[in-house]
Each structure stands twice: as structure tokens, then as C-alpha cells.
Structure 1
Amino acid sequence: MKNSRRKFLSSISMLAASTTIPLHAFSFDTSKKLKVALVGTGIRGITFWGKRLVDQYSDIIEFVGLSDINPSRLDYAKNYIGVSCPVFIDFEKMVKDTRPDLVIVTTKDSTHHQFIIKGLELGCDVLTEKPLTVDETKCQAILDAEKKSEKNLIVGFNYRWSPYATKIKELLMSKAIGDLVSVDFNWYLNTYHGASYFRRWHGDMKSSGSLWVHKSTHHFDLLNWWIDSEPSEVFAYGDLEFYGKNGPFRGDNCRTCKHSKDCDFYWDINQDEFMKELYVDHEHEDGYIRDNCLFRKDIDIYDKMSAQVKYADNTTLNYSLTTYSPFEGWRVAFNGTKGRIEASQDIPYHSINSISEAEKHANEMDQTNKEELSYEPIIVHKLWKEHETIKVPMEKQGHGGGDKRLQDKIFKTSDTEDPYGRTAGIRDGAMSILIGIGARRSIEEKKAIQIAQLTDLKPKKKR
């Protein structure tokens, strides 16, 4: 019987260990580097799962192939990442020719299932960016493929690994507020980051599954992990009231738009050298326009979302996502039988060290090893007692320090036990998207959706 998560992670960690360690269950040995192939050479692929792996782990891994549907961007990606491996338009040919140990999937969300399933079928372990996929049918296909395979799948949830999120988990695990009863969670995307989703393929429901899936999967995974239970039912509201057809004017894209002087959202992609070289210089190959108009009429995802989720252990969640907030940040409150925990990040009037809204997303995506520490508070308020303020050391780069901790766990310290259970496997990936998929269906069908009816996974009271 395979140990789906442990086997995959341990196999990677063995690469850095002594060659005297027995190899038994693993398909590669400690005298060789882990062979990695990447499919999808967009920004997340070439930075976090590309260049950063080369910069930080080249002593234990090697890239054996890169794949994408855009040939000229492939050449750019190869140079940017700093590898000498071959590139492929045909993913299956890449896997058969290079025989990687690990396939990393960072393609468009609606195609994740294709590469996950084919990678497993061809005998590779697979690591996929979130979300796992965009609908319940594709999710079930992935679940079936993983069951049939002798290989394993891990989902790259980085938010779990930030020190701030981990401290919240520690407090909940210690029963600091007794048994959990309910949770309120609000996420605010600003007019820089939030708007960016509507410029891209994410504005197309079939491509992204809506932000219920692409973005909220991050949040739902955090909540499932914090709550330590699985969702059983979801009821949601959502609408498109700001972007898309609601705009006062529209054009083909920002570069050619005659309304550039009047539009508050005008963005000159050519002023960003990296974005120009990664996208504009290669759009002639596949037609992908990175600076699409936010107000084009074919946008069909929601820009305001709220949901109520019931968990198998009877915890309830009230959730909302705002996509055009003046600021970017989030708030969460946990109500327990013995008190309440309140936490938040990047609320501008809560901090004297607030940075500009334009810098926030850039800092999240920054993979440099800057040591810029700050402190964020968590409030613990127990019944009939004064509240306590816990100051948590924070890092701004790489999603609050979560990115580097996730990769270190996968590639360096996977044999070290994690008391917080932060590594996410296929079930975690599925349960996070099933809330979003259920929310989307709830809006369409105007009724509560049972999570157990979406796939063959039955929600558990405890994860």
C-alpha cells in the first residue's frame, strides 16, 4: 500500500542524503540528481518553479526538459531560468524522451488535468500549482488517475507555510479558544492585483473556473487546514458588477486603446521590461494578450463573491472575496467555545509601515532572499479575560515567507516531521477547489450544493 504523500516527499529528500542509505522503494538513486521537467512557462513557472529551483537547489536537482505551446517563449524561458535542457512543444514526447522523476505543472488552470494525468500515466511523480483543476469532472479524472498510478501528486499550496499562517494553526491546535465553532474570512484584492485577473485568461470561466477556483482555492485550503475538517455543504452568491460589460468604455488592449488618458486602469505593459519580454514579445505565436481590456464584454467570471460553508464537524464559515478594493489584505476571525482569535494582514490603517498598493503583489511574487522582517499581530481574546496580542515575525517576500519554506520542505527537509501538517496532497487539492466549484454551481442553481455529490470523495470530520 503506497503512502501517497510520504513516499513522494521522502524520495526527493533522499537525493541530498548519503549514498549509503538504502534505496528500496525509490525509482532513482542518491548518486543522481532529481530529474525535473516543467510544463507551462508563464511567470509562475519560470520564476518560482524555474529560476528559484536552479538558484537554490541545483546541487540536488536538474531540469531535463521544458514544455509549452509557445515556441519563442520556450526559448526565452530556457535562457531566463538558466538551463541547458531541450525544449518541447509536445509534452508527451518530452516525458518519454527525458524520463523525468518529477513533472511540475504550471499551465493554464483548465489544462492542469491533462498534464497531471499524463504525467502519472507515464510513471512520474507530479507537482502541480494550485488550483488542482477547474471543475468536478476533471477533478474526478485526476482522482481516478492517481488511484491507478504507482506515482503520487502534491499541490503547491504556499500560504500554509508562512510563519503567520502557521502561528494561527498552532493556536487552534492548542485549543487556545476551545473547540472551534465558526469562522469569518474576508479577502480584499486591490485595483492592481485584482484587476490583473480580468486582463488575462482568468476572466474566462472555462479557462479558470472563475476566481472561486483560481484565487479562492488558496483561501479555502488555508481554512480547511486551520479548521482541521472538510467542507460538506456550500451556498453562495456572486455577480459581475464592476469589470467586463460594466465598464464605461473599452478597447482591444491597453497598448492600442484610445481611452488610455481617461481610464484609471490604464497599464503600459511595455514599461515593464520583464513582462514585455515574457509575454508581448511572444504573443504572435499563440495570440495570448497579457494586457487585455478589463472591460471587454466576453469576461464572464464574478467580481464579487460571498459564501457560507458548513464543515463535516459542524463548523461554519462565512467567506467573501472583493476584487476591486482600495487596498489589498485580509481578515479572519475564529470563534470558539472559550474565546476568539482575530488576525489580519496588510490592512493599511492597522500598520504604520504600510507600503504602496502597487508594491504589495510585487513583494508577494518576489523570490529574492531579502531579509525584510516586520511584525504582525494576532489577537487572542478568551472569555472573561483581557485580550492578548501576539506579535508574529513576518517576511514580505515570497508570499509571506511561505514560498521558500514550501520548497525547502519538498526538496531538502521532507524527512523531517512537520507537527502542523502543512504538506498538501491530492485530497487537500480536491477539497479546496470543490468549495469553489460548489459555490459556482450554487450561484447558477440557486441552492446549497453538497460537496459529496461532486466527486466520490466523502467529507471527513477531521482531515
Structure 2
Amino acid sequence: MENKRRFALVGTGNRGTTMWGKDLLAGWRGQVDLVAIADTNALRAERARTMIATNAPIYGNVDTMLAEARPDLVIVCTPDSTHDDIVVRALEAGADVITEKPMSTTVEKIRRILDAEKRTGRRVDVSFNYRFAPTAARIKELLNSGEIGRITSVDFHWYLDTRHGADYFRRWHAYTERSGSLFVHKATHHFDLLNWYLDSDPDAVTAFADLQMYGRKGPFRGPRCKLCPHKNECDFYLDLEADPFLEALYEDPSEIDGYFRDGCVFREDIDIPDTMVANIHYRNNVHVSYSLNTFQPIEGHHIAFNGTKGRIELRQYEDQPWEMPEEDVILLIRNFPKGRPGVERIAVQHSPGGHYGGDDRLRNMLFKPDAKDSLGQRAGARAGAMSVLCGVAALQSSRTGKLVRLADLMPELFEDEFCSLSRSAAQISASAGRQ
């Protein structure tokens, strides 16, 4: 195929090696060609290349890679705080960019990316795969249909279990300087879903956050799980040798960069919260109550949209200590049925693949030439910026005790011209239909 996207993969951790490496080539080889891999850790890159099953050359320097491989697309899967440098270099070299979420971690880094995209005329896509999950898409359709009238408030609560949640505290995510905190790294998914569902921008945030389980709250600590004298008594002990994939990508490569995949979750220098709540006010006057918990016995979320004509509610389980059916059930509850059912139970079957099929649908949208975007699921740089900005505001509010207005952090993101350029025809149509 002559119009294959010639892409370079920057960052060969778990997500880069699987989602944007092995899996992308396995399912979309007719649309893409991997022409380069870049990583500062040569051994990790070599092992990732073997896992991906490619002969693409490896580079230790992004600028050299851009000059020699000349990709027309760069996929960025490095630690969050490094995204802006790589994205900007790729744009300036004439390539489009797909970046893992979050797009960046600070206001200054957001501004750099937006300015570079505008200056170069290239495109940035942000990997918000939750928009593409079948259940999320069905909820968006119901909201667009006006079934519950004008939305007035949302209850949104996300739960990470003691396997997934703890993993953020083992890794580089545990430092605000690297991840922006989980208000940015993890919640960027959730804030983006809200922005997309509500077809509006967050206006103001108040938040509370604390460290209640991990870090200095722990009863003991060690240098890392592998060398820890408390491994037999620690509930969070991770045995890398039991996971050949993680061990291959991280254990021997740690001798090069000193990055241990099994870092102690009780390290005293961890500076991000593990328990977070936020109240968010939207420009269309929707009120949101949000929370994120990182040490639960369950994984998943609860979301409910309260409207003038009814309520849409979902309790999605992703992992739990009991068996669940292979479907989600959305409740559509009407205030005034008038001959219609007071409640409809709408079953949505899980699809195979990551995020219940959301990963595959995202890649289809980005790489299949006939992909249609009737729900406005494809997320550009402004969507990436807005979700990060909401997380930055939440973290700032939790640390200062004050309400934070997003327009005070980045006024240009709320200018009418910028707002109008960001909205797709599908979003505009959907918004008009609800008025």
C-alpha cells in the first residue's frame, strides 16, 4: 500500500511495546510501517524490537532518528514529563504525532505543544482510548439523544485495585515532577471523558487529596521488591521473575538507567496523593463530583448523569473478586415515563482487546482510511490540553485549599477562536440537538 504511514516509536516500555508496537503491526500492517525505534535505554529497545518482531533501526537520540528515518508520524510513549520535548521536535521535523496520555504535565508544556502544532501545521492526536470503549460510546449516544434532557450534574468515581493502583507507586509516576500526579496522569482519562460526554469545558475546580496508604504511610520499606527484607510480609510485593515480559523489559535494562520496575511502594520520597476528590464546574453549568481511589479490592468505575428528564447510570467492573457477565448494563431512568418504561436496562457486550475493544477502535479511527467519527471520539491537542489543565487545577486546589479557575491558568485556551476551532462538526451538531 503506497499510502502507509511511516511511523517511529519513541519509548519502549509496556505501552509502547504492546499497544503501539506489536499490536499495531499485527492488526494494521496494511496501514502502517515501523521505520524507527527510539529509546535512551538501548537494551530495552533491543528487547522491545524482538517482541514487536520488526527490523526497524534503533536510535538513542530523537533528533538523529528524525533526520535519518524521516517518519511522517511519531508515536510518543515516554514518561509524561518528557512528552513536550519529543512532540515539539517531531512537529518541527514535519511529522504528525500520536502521544500517549496525558499529553503533558504542566501549563508551560501544554503551551509549547499547542504553539508548535499551530506553527507547523502538523497534527497531534492524544490516545484517549476510553472514548472508544463500546459502553462509553453508547452512553455518548444516549446523552446526544436528549433522553434525560439537559444534564445538570454528574457523579463520577473511579476505583483502582491493589494491583493496578499500587503499580503507579512502584514506578516513576509516584513523583509529581514526572507524572503531574495521578490527577494528571490517571485522571486525564476521566476528565477527558467528562469533557467529551458533556461537550463543554471545565471552568473551575476545588479538590482535596492526601497520601493515606503508600509512601511514608507504609509500615516498612526496602530498596526495591527484589532486595526487600520485608517481602514475605508485604502485601504489595511484586515478583518480577513471575512476569517474563516485565522482567525482560526492565530487569537487565535497569543496569543502564537505574530504573527499577519493582520500586518500593512505601518510598518516603513519594510526593503524589493516593486518595483524591474534586468538584468541577463546567461552562455549561454542569456540576461534577469526582473521586479517585488507588487501593480498593475492586477495579472499575461508577458514573451517573442527572438530567432534567431523568438519569443515566453505569457501574462498570473491570476486575473484582467475583465473576461478572461479559457485558455492561446501562440504566436509563426516566422522571416522567408517560407510557414508556420507567427504566431501561441497556446491555453492551464487551469486545475483545484492551479497554473492552476501545484500543482497537482507536487504532481503526487513526489508521483506517474509511473511519467515520460521528461521535467526535478522535481527540486532538486541545482535548489533551484541557484534560491536563483540569488535573493541574485539581492538584493546585488540593495543595492551596483554594478554588482554581482554569482560565486563570491558561487564558488563551478559552478564547472563542480557539474553542471554535477545536470542536468537530459532530460535537456541534450534538450540542445543537440538546438545546
TM-score by length of 1: 0.87
RMSD: 1.6
Deviation of 1:255 after TM superposition, in Å, equals 0.7
Aligned pair partner of 1:220 in 160, 170, 191: 191
User: Relative to structure 1, is the Cα distance of residues 422 and 353 closer, same or farther in structure 2, using a 3 angstrom cutoff?
Assistant: same
User: Where do residues 44-443 of structure 1 align in structure 2 (5 Å cutoff)?
Assistant: 44-346=15-317, 353-354=323-324, 374-385=326-337, 386-395=342-351, 397-413=353-369, 415-443=370-398
Paired AA for residue 383 in structure 1: N
Deviation of 1:46 after TM superposition, in Å, equals 0.7
How far does the alpha carbon of each residue in 1:152-200 deviate from its partner, in whole angstroms, 9 at most, with x for none?
1111110000110001000000011001100000000000000000000
Aligned partners of 2:129, 2:298: CA distance in 1, in Å?
A: 22
Deviation of 1:119 after TM superposition, in Å, equals 0.5
Deviation of 1:33 after TM superposition, in Å, equals 2.7
Paired AA for residue 353 in structure 1: E
Aligned partners of 2:399, 2:347: CA distance in 1, in Å?
A: 42
Paired AA for residue 329 in structure 2: P
Paired AA for residue 92 in structure 1: D
For 2:413, what is the secondary structure of its paired residue?
coil
User: Relative to structure 1, is the Cα distance of residues 348 and 195 closer, same or farther in structure 2, using a 3 angstrom cutoff?
Assistant: closer
Q: Which runs of 5+ in 2 are unaligned?
A: 428-435
Aligned partners of 2:3, 2:286: CA distance in 1, in Å?
A: 47
Aligned partners of 2:102, 2:327: CA distance in 1, in Å?
A: 29
Asked if structure 1 preserves the Cα contact closer than 8 Å seen for 2:309 and 2:336, the reply is: no
Matched, 1:452 2:407: yes
Deviation of 1:137 after TM superposition, in Å, equals 1.0
How far does the alpha carbon of each residue in 1:243-270 deviate from its partner, in whole angstroms, 9 at most, with x for none?
0000000000111111111111111111
Deviation of 1:344 after TM superposition, in Å, equals 1.5
Q: Share of identical aligned residues, percent? A: 46
Paired AA for residue 212 in structure 1: F
Deviation of 1:60 after TM superposition, in Å, equals 2.5
TM-score by length of 2: 0.92
Aligned partners of 1:147, 1:418: CA distance in 2, in Å?
A: 23
Paired AA for residue 86 in structure 1: P
Deviation of 1:352 after TM superposition, in Å, equals 6.8
User: Relative to structure 1, is the Cα distance of residues 348 and 33 closer, same or farther in structure 2, using a 3 angstrom cutoff?
Assistant: closer
Bigger drift between 159-168 and 379-388 goes to 379-388
Asked if structure 1 preserves the Cα contact closer than 8 Å seen for 2:75 and 2:97, the reply is: yes
- Shift >6 Å, 4+ stretches: none
How far does the alpha carbon of each residue in 1:309-360 deviate from its partner, in whole angstroms, 9 at most, with x for none?
11111111110000001111100000000011111111778x9733xxxxxx
Aligned partners of 2:403, 2:352: CA distance in 1, in Å?
A: 38
Aligned partners of 2:224, 2:318: CA distance in 1, in Å?
A: 32
Aligned partners of 1:335, 1:54: CA distance in 2, in Å?
A: 42
For 1:390, what is the secondary structure of its paired residue?
strand
Deviation of 1:34 after TM superposition, in Å, equals 1.7
Aligned partners of 1:383, 1:59: CA distance in 2, in Å?
A: 49
Aligned partners of 2:394, 2:74: CA distance in 1, in Å?
A: 30
Asked if structure 1 preserves the Cα contact closer than 8 Å seen for 2:364 and 2:371, the reply is: no
Aligned partners of 2:124, 2:33: CA distance in 1, in Å?
A: 19
Deviation of 1:297 after TM superposition, in Å, equals 0.3
Asked if structure 1 preserves the Cα contact closer than 8 Å seen for 2:240 and 2:262, the reply is: yes
Deviation of 1:141 after TM superposition, in Å, equals 1.1
Aligned partners of 1:48, 1:348: CA distance in 2, in Å?
A: 20
